[in-house]
Structure 1
Amino acid sequence: MAFEFKIIEKEQINSVIPLVQKLNKNNISYEVLEQRFSEMITQNYECVGAFDNNKLIGVCGLWYCTRHYSGKSVEPDHVFIDEDYRGKGIGKQFFKWIYNYTLNKGCEAVELNTYVSNSASHKFYFNEGFKILGYHFLKKL
């Protein structure tokens, strides 16, 4: 199967919200996500979509920054492939596209976080050559 991967235009960013809601099982409302994405697109953020004949089947946010220990890096965020499309190699194709795209933007490293409970993603990222560097902590204010 041939899938298309492309940057989602800022004007279309709300198209990713239904998939992001499936990822975030903590029930963040559409309205809150809409507000957050409208802020995110003004920052060092892009969003890539995976498409099957113009149907959005996967998303991955890309955050850009420069870190003292890794140089210019990209952080894939809220990576999600629709359940009906899993196990078809789309994740591997998606990340190959992301590596090429971000290399062309001058990135030297890829860093990411994944939920502790998402063991399927851990296996995927290990197979992609990622190493565990640390822990991600969160404190709500």
Structure 2
Amino acid sequence: MAFIFKIIDNEDIESVIPLVEKLNSYKISYEILKKRFYEMIAQKNYECAVIYDGNKLIGVSGLWFCTRHYSGRSVEPDHVYIDEAYRNKGLGRQFFNWIYDYAKERGYEAVELNTYVSNAQSHKFYFNEGFKILGFHFFKKL
């Protein structure tokens, strides 16, 4: 199978929302997600990587680009989701290799991310990818 990995055009951003909704444990409405995605694009440090199987959108990962004092220029994959029918076939590794190459080509030197505590399957994947736990992600709604 030949999958297509690419950065989605900003005008097509709404096409990723159905996949993100499946990951969305907070049950945020489609309309709020739509509004937030357009705000994220407007910030100019966000891009959205996708996977297509032919014309079918099967995977998504937001990419946040920044510079941090401890890691230098880094990219943060966010809201990573691959359609359940395509899991456990090496596609996640292919996707992340594509992300690593894309980030390196742009001059980035590190990848960091957050994952839900309850998502044990993702923890195993990220450990296998060489990620280390550096701390805790704290959240407070204002």
TM-score, structure 1 length as denominator?
A: 0.98
Identify the residue that residue 23 of structure 1 maps to in structure 2: 23
How far 1:87 moved relative to its partner?
1.1
Instruction: Check if 1:68 corresponds to 2:105.
Output: no
| Paired residues for 1:47-126 under 5 Å | 47-126=48-127
Give the Cα–Cα distance (whole angstroms) in 2 for the partners of residues 38 and 106 of structure 1.
Answer: 25
Alignment: residue pair count: 141
How far 1:51 moved relative to its partner?
0.5
Give the Cα–Cα distance (whole angstroms) in 2 for the partners of residues 3 and 69 of structure 1.
Answer: 34
Give the Cα–Cα distance (whole angstroms) in 2 for the partners of residues 129 and 68 of structure 1.
Answer: 21
Instruction: Check if 1:134 corresponds to 2:130.
Output: no
RMSD: 0.6
Give the Cα–Cα distance (whole angstroms) in 1 for the partners of residues 117 and 93 of structure 2.
Answer: 21
Amino acid at match of 1:16: V
Taking only the aligned residue pairs, the percentage that are identical comes to 73
Identify the residue that residue 41 of structure 1 maps to in structure 2: 41
Amino acid at match of 2:26: N
Amino acid at match of 2:71: S
Unaligned runs of 5+ in 1: none
2:134 counterpart SS class: coil
Write out per-residue CA displacement over residues 55-102 of structure 1, whole angstroms, 9 at most, x where no aligned residue: 100000000000000000000000000111111111000000000000
TM-score, structure 2 length as denominator?
A: 0.98
1:41 counterpart SS class: helix
Amino acid at match of 1:102: A
Amino acid at match of 2:97: K
Identify the residue that residue 4 of structure 2 maps to in structure 1: 4
